[in-house]
Amino acid sequence: METLDGLSILRQETDLLWMCLSAFLVFLMQAGFALVEAGFTRTKNVVNILMKNISDFLFGTLAYFFLGFSLMYGPSLIAGLGPGMPAVATALIDVQGKPDSWNYGFFLFQAVFCGTAATIASGAMAERTRFPAYLIASVCISGFIYPVFGSLSWNSLFDSTNQGLLVRLGFIDFAGSTVVHAIGGWLALAGALVLGPRLGKYREDGKVSPIFGHNLSLATIGVFLLWFGWFGFNPGSTTSVGKGSFAIVAVMTALASATGGMAALFVSWLLFKRPDITMVLNGVLAGLVAITAPCYDVDTTGALIIGAVAGVLVVFSVIFFDLIRVDDPVGAISVHGVCGLWGTLAVGLFASPEFGSGTAGLFYGGGMALLGVQALGSAIAFVWALGAGLLLMLGLKYTVGLRVSREEEIEGLDIIEHGNEAYPEKFS
Amino acid sequence: METLDGLSILRQETDLLWMCLSAFLVFLMQAGFALVEAGFTRTKNVVNILMKNISDFLFGTLAYFFLGFSLMYGPSLIAGLGPGMPAVATALIDVQGKPDSWNYGFFLFQAVFCGTAATIASGAMAERTRFPAYLIASVCISGFIYPVFGSLSWNSLFDSTNQGLLVRLGFIDFAGSTVVHAIGGWLALAGALVLGPRLGKYREDGKVSPIFGHNLSLATIGVFLLWFGWFGFNPGSTTSVGKGSFAIVAVMTALASATGGMAALFVSWLLFKRPDITMVLNGVLAGLVAITAPCYDVDTTGALIIGAVAGVLVVFSVIFFDLIRVDDPVGAISVHGVCGLWGTLAVGLFASPEFGSGTAGLFYGGGMALLGVQALGSAIAFVWALGAGLLLMLGLKYTVGLRVSREEEIEGLDIIEHGNEAYPEKFS
Amino acid sequence: METLDGLSILRQETDLLWMCLSAFLVFLMQAGFALVEAGFTRTKNVVNILMKNISDFLFGTLAYFFLGFSLMYGPSLIAGLGPGMPAVATALIDVQGKPDSWNYGFFLFQAVFCGTAATIASGAMAERTRFPAYLIASVCISGFIYPVFGSLSWNSLFDSTNQGLLVRLGFIDFAGSTVVHAIGGWLALAGALVLGPRLGKYREDGKVSPIFGHNLSLATIGVFLLWFGWFGFNPGSTTSVGKGSFAIVAVMTALASATGGMAALFVSWLLFKRPDITMVLNGVLAGLVAITAPCYDVDTTGALIIGAVAGVLVVFSVIFFDLIRVDDPVGAISVHGVCGLWGTLAVGLFASPEFGSGTAGLFYGGGMALLGVQALGSAIAFVWALGAGLLLMLGLKYTVGLRVSREEEIEGLDIIEHGNEAYPEKFS
């Protein structure tokens, strides 16, 4: 007995260690987003976009701590008040009958996921969004919009009588192609729609004037940090070392990122006559976003295909949004929205009964049912995030103001909003 | 029996894995410091500050290996000479009755902490310190100044009859707000005092001419790497997965960093009318430094308050040191010294009897005793580090020379000390 | 029984966790290589070198998945076809009688090592290699050249009747000084030889015109990421937490990197009158490369010496290759080839019978036998990698073309091959 107890305690601690290490990796994705977005924007707006990304973690973590976590994984908010913890979060953390420390680890893991979702919008809204408005948006996303949909899809942990709607329907989004990425992507779409394009991007003669990011080395560092962090994001979503399934998930993640990047490389080569680094970087991210939902349930063939399709999709999606004049400086809507949608649907196509949860997708004899559920979940996510996002952005537009003035946009946000220059010596 | 033995071995190995993984994360903080300091200095001194930060690890690790580790965790230095290990370090590593490999892991974990302490001074001394003098200072800090105070506070591991003075008094500095950060900060103060300000910083008419760092993107990468590494620094200081307390420590660390950054954001907004990115970056670090001592013993309310206070403190401290004309290019004295002091005292205020070591601070009914011990430890650290630092820096000033010539300072240290330019094409 | 089973399962899962975490760290080394190489090249070729490094992972992972892994760890390729896995890889992954997930983890760990080997050549070939030719080379290296030698040295895992030649002879290359680094280094040499030097590097009067890299901050970030990742590369090569030997390996790795960097610092100071940052960065890498083979089998004295010698060697080697007019923009041949060779031979000198595998090198009474085997393995690696590399590069030269045109080299590869500029605003 004593031995078994000791063993089960060590197992719990090892699971918790893995969950926390994954949370640290996912935390580093904040740096990845910050650098990708900074690299893809112009020098005059670099400090501003860095500040927005940093603030997403500062404000987002606190909003999630005080409100979002309870909304997402409640509802037993009436239970006792733990030692020194704000009421709602403590209540949640204390009522679950698991060891205390596990609850803290789980909070951290969820909080960094929330930070990821919140930060996606900043890229699509770059170079023209007022800083105070952005902060309010970030708090609303982390504290409310993200956790509400998260609760539908993922809240099955603590209370079997109170599972999320999509959990009960069998919706599969293992690590968040929809819960995190598509939600973030559709919020980004809402932001870009309400803001309108940057000055000079779409010319009156119908042509697009590309606006180049100032530093592709920085963007590349960012993508590598995101890639690295994704090995916490996807494999870590096992939240346990049991059966070593994290290793299988890690391989699927690596394979999809490889085919995603490669597909984007070849497609851009075909379309533009040259392999374009911005497309390759977004192709890698597209593969990663797409494999996030199915990484636990597909085999390697599925992973390779899902990544490759995402890499093709992202290039055409970027072109498409420019055609309809939705200005997204970093491609966030295409990477996270479109490829998050694709990855979620792909579960319905490629889920293999020999992997993960044992569910079969369409190509493995599973019929249309799972695909239907995946489509339903995706539709709800789209309606919720775009709807709530439009309300939020329009609300901000007509109150505190969402977009900077024409003068500020031309001069750059760094000086006027922050009094900082990213590289002061270059302008001296 | 056999089973229990196997279980206890696996537990030891898992503890050691966690300690080593944490050491790797803390190692990465060297990169973080290097980039923060490079970003906050001018182009002409970038190679020099990078070299100093790299050298801190090179020279510091060896000084700690050959001397510091033994000073800090001795004293049984007479024991047998292990296989191929320099006498002192081997003796220490072999006498402890724990598995050999644990001792190696513990050495690595301690060595990267030492590297952190040593590297703090380089920021405050940036843009005017001679490279050879800096190397000597770095060796003295790693091999002697840091381990002596460390021994007072942390040496309770191997020999109960020979515990550090502050250990016996009940001084609590879980992961080193004082042992690492305040010691580093007060050494930074000593360096800045002896060096004097950079040319042109303080004008004759009493005004301050701000000297802007050359690359805020670089500084931001640095802060993110420090932030990431801190999840090894604080949670890793459990040096064990037992009870999963690392997860609780990780949450406290994240919360304090969030309130630290947010407080600095709002304070700089109020004071300067604009949210300043350098203040936000330092606010995040301030929150991290402050929570480093109390992270194991406070609850979330404590963590949130400690971080927020640190974020306010750091802004006013930076202003204060400019007022008294102590020129600290990166804010190291304020971040590591002042906020390290604050965090150490905060243990006496906010330690919760329901967390960590079960000690109660003032606000939880513990009376003034703990606060007194924390103040005493902080005072000893201040006197020791500032005193030894002043002696060291003055000694260097009057022997090998501490400060570069006026001509070299104007031209920049990179060309003259290293024959390198950080960005050669920009000057061609 | 039940208890023992549970314990051995948890041990397997913990081993696998460690192997996967190490794989993630090694993955990050791709970012390290990308940044070092980008930092050490000129602005006009930055996008190109970033693209090559990214592509190494994209194409290399897939080539290793579809071919290399089977070549290296086969040969039982006839076994059954697993769920959805391409035939060869699946066959390999399914026949081994270990838990499935372990095989996936092992594949990932091996794949990131392969990516490292492939990417080494890109540095020596920088600033003048056609992108399509490079992609083909990268696929051939990952899919064939690397795994063939890898099989000789490391294939002892799954089939005792089919061990690699060098395994049977007792060749020791714990983490790949030869298997990964020297193979990569000699391929780099082949590439540099066939390509010839960059325009303007070697003048007609016999002098060398140094071509400076554009960004030493970037190169420094890269070295720090490589350094950090090496704590997965070497300690992770235990692929198990058993006996905690990863901690010992980690200390040896840290010590050798410290003496490597320090030796290069002092040697460059002596030779050039100034401590040169590019030499220090390469010295750190040289120490890391050299300790990679012996890290499991030497004591701390051995590690300190091995690193120091590597740090001296790398400086003279860089000078030597310039003397014989082999143009290696980043020093890859010296760091990975020469110091990989040194580290491999050093096992024969410094292996301590009290560490690791218990084999004794020359200085510990082991005689010349081990040194002979190490030399033989190194010679085979040199002949194989240089020979296959020359064939490959010459084949590319006379088919698709290996080197860009004179005009393109002068204008830069970024615009012509990719249509991108790394820093567009600087040229506007």
**CB contacts, 8 Å: C423 with chain A:** 214-217
Of A7, A232, A259, the CB nearest to C6: A7
Q: Which residue has the higher pLDDT, B154 or C83?
A: B154
* Chain C stretch 315-334, residues whose beta carbon is closer than 8 A to a beta carbon of chain B: none
> A38 in contact with C at a CB cutoff of 8 Å?
no
Binned at pLDDT 50, 70 and 90, residue C161 comes out as low
Cβ contact B244–A99 (<8 Å): yes
**CB contacts, 8 Å: A215 with chain C:** 422-423
Closest CA to C239 of C76, C7, C12, C4: C12
> A275 in contact with C at a CB cutoff of 8 Å?
yes
Cβ contact B251–A215 (<8 Å): no
pLDDT above 90 coverage of chain C, percent: 83
Q: Which residue has the higher pLDDT, B97 or C65?
A: C65
**CB contacts, 8 Å: A284 with chain C:** 54, 58
Binned at pLDDT 50, 70 and 90, residue B87 comes out as very low
> C251 in contact with B at a CB cutoff of 8 Å?
yes
Does B377 score more than 90 pLDDT? yes
Cβ contact C84–A298 (<8 Å): yes
Q: What is the largest CA-CA distance in chain A?
A: 79
> A240 in contact with C at a CB cutoff of 8 Å?
no
What is the gyration radius of the CA atoms in chain B, in angstroms?
21
Helix, strand or coil, per DSSP, at residue B282 = helix
> A237 in contact with C at a CB cutoff of 8 Å?
no
Query: Tens of pLDDT along C287-296?
Result: 999 999 999 9
Q: What is the pLDDT of residue A70?
A: 83
Cβ contact C84–A221 (<8 Å): no
> C423 in contact with B at a CB cutoff of 8 Å?
no
Distance from C-alpha of C286 to C-alpha of C271, rounded to nearest angstrom: 18
Q: What is the pLDDT of residue C410?
A: 96
Does B84 score more than 80 pLDDT? no
Its sign, for the CA torsion A212, A218, A224, A225, is: negative
Helix and strand numbers, DSSP H then E, in chain B: 18, 0
> A371 in contact with B at a CB cutoff of 8 Å?
no
The tokens describing B420, both together, are: 């390198």
Distance from C-alpha of B166 to C-alpha of B172, rounded to nearest angstrom: 8
Does C78 score more than 50 pLDDT? no
Q: What is the largest CA-CA distance in chain C?
A: 79
Binned at pLDDT 50, 70 and 90, residue B396 comes out as very high
The tokens describing B26, both together, are: 């803390």
> Average pLDDT for residues C90-105, to the nearest whole number?
64
* Strand boundaries in C155-209, DSSP class E: none
Of A11, A276, A354, the CB nearest to C420: A276
- Nearest chain A residue to B42 by CA: give it: A425
Sorted by sequence, the CB contacts under 8 Å of residue B428 that are 6+ apart come out as none
In one-letter notation, the amino acid at residue B181 is H
Chains near A with 3+ CB pairs less than 8 A apart are B, C
On whether the CB atoms of residues B311 and B260 are closer than 8 A, the answer is yes
> Average pLDDT for residues C336-354, to the nearest whole number?
97
The secondary structure of residue C198, as a DSSP letter, is P
Cβ contact C215–B38 (<8 Å): no
* Domains in chain B: boundaries: 11-418
- Report the DSSP beta bridge partners of residue A202: A208
Binned at pLDDT 50, 70 and 90, residue C71 comes out as confident
Nearest CA distance, A214 vs chain C (angstrom): 5
> Average pLDDT for residues B237-250, to the nearest whole number?
95
Distance from C-alpha of A16 to C-alpha of B225, rounded to nearest angstrom: 23
Nearest CA distance, C58 vs chain A (angstrom): 4
On whether the CB atoms of residues B270 and A67 are closer than 8 A, the answer is no
Query: Tens of pLDDT along A295-335?
Result: 999 999 999 999 999 999 999 999 999 999 999 999 999 99
- Nearest chain C residue to A7 by CA: give it: C7
On whether the CB atoms of residues C387 and C193 are closer than 8 A, the answer is no
* Chain A stretch 54-93, residues whose beta carbon is closer than 8 A to a beta carbon of chain B: 54-55, 57-59, 61-62, 65, 82-86, 89-90
Of B84, B418, B421, the CB nearest to C302: B84
Cβ contact C244–B23 (<8 Å): no
How many CB atoms neighbour CB C323 within 10 A? 10
Nearest CA distance, C309 vs chain A (angstrom): 32
Nearest CA distance, A356 vs chain B (angstrom): 26
Of A7, A58, A82, the CB nearest to B262: A58
Binned at pLDDT 50, 70 and 90, residue C75 comes out as low
> A427 in contact with B at a CB cutoff of 8 Å?
no
pLDDT above 70 coverage of chain A, percent: 91
Sorted by sequence, the CB contacts under 8 Å of residue A76 that are 6+ apart come out as A91, A92, A95, A158, A159
Cβ contact C6–A10 (<8 Å): no
Cβ contact C215–B422 (<8 Å): yes
Cβ contact A244–C422 (<8 Å): no
- Nearest chain B residue to A22 by CA: give it: B231
Cβ contact A83–B354 (<8 Å): yes
Summary mean pLDDT of chain C: 91
Give domain A11-418's CATH superfamily.
Answer: Ammonium transporter AmtB like domains (1.10.3430.10)
The secondary structure of residue A169, as a DSSP letter, is H
Q: Which residue has the higher pLDDT, C343 or C92?
A: C343
Query: Tens of pLDDT along C178-218?
Result: 999 999 999 999 999 999 999 999 999 989 999 999 999 99
Nearest CA distance, A118 vs chain C (angstrom): 25
Q: What is the pLDDT of residue C153?
A: 92
Summary mean pLDDT of chain A: 91
> B221 in contact with A at a CB cutoff of 8 Å?
yes
Q: What is the pLDDT of residue B97?
A: 47
Helix, strand or coil, per DSSP, at residue C279 = helix
Of A7, A257, A272, the CB nearest to C419: A272
Cβ contact B301–A108 (<8 Å): no
Predicted TM-score (pTM) of the model is 0.96
Which residue's structure tokens are 């081997």?
Answer: B90
Does B133 score more than 80 pLDDT? yes
On whether the CB atoms of residues C89 and C68 are closer than 8 A, the answer is no
**CB contacts, 8 Å: B298 with chain A:** 84
